[in-house]
Structure 1
Amino acid sequence: TRRSLDVLHRFGFLGAMLWCYGDYAEPLWTEPPLDEATWERWFGLWRVDGSPKPAVTEVTSFEHIGRVSPQQGFPWINIDRKEFYTRPYEHLCRLYLQFCEHIGGA
């Protein structure tokens, strides 16, 4: 969590979307999609008992950090919008890998 937030901050992003608010209570585990997608049960920032997970501390640590100026240009984006939408999934995967290489963490 911290590394992702650090990178977003460094690039001047306004925020991040975190998934999900809380873990699922055990009585829901027999219902779709939790019956088969067991990993979904524990994606929350808070545990079922309401206690925060360590990621909450990381998110909170950004509360008073000022925004940095966005970087000028994104040289790793080497495709125009129209071409991107011809094969969005393929292009998104490729661009994500290029972004990871750009930030030094593929």
Structure 2
Amino acid sequence: MPEPLTDEYLKEIQDRIAAASKAPWTVRLDDHFGEPCGFGPFTWVEYPEDDIAHLDADITFAAHARVDVRNLYGEVSRLNGEVSRLNERIRQLERAQGGGCYGA
């Protein structure tokens, strides 16, 4: 199981989200073949020919990252807040029981 994300790490993510160009990033098609050639503020010249089958999926994944990361950050923040509220409620119940472990 992965370690919980620290508040400092979440703040770093939040800062990167705020600093990035605004969403959504759209996929751009080239003028010659109608193939993806970039997204949002990014363009590229070549892609490994031995992995061309993944090109569209990779571009779509990266183009959606701007919104997906923001949404995932929001969900992690919401869940962390919920965990904090539940932990506080557990402490309240333990104090009401005279300091013992709740549910024990």
TM range (shorter): under 0.3
TM-score, length basis structure 2: 0.27
Which has the larger strand fraction? Answer: 2
The structure, 1 or 2, with the larger RCO (C-alpha pairs under 8 Å, 6+ apart) is 1
TM-score (norm 1): 0.27
Q: Higher helix share goes to which structure?
A: 2
Rg comparison, structure with higher value? 2
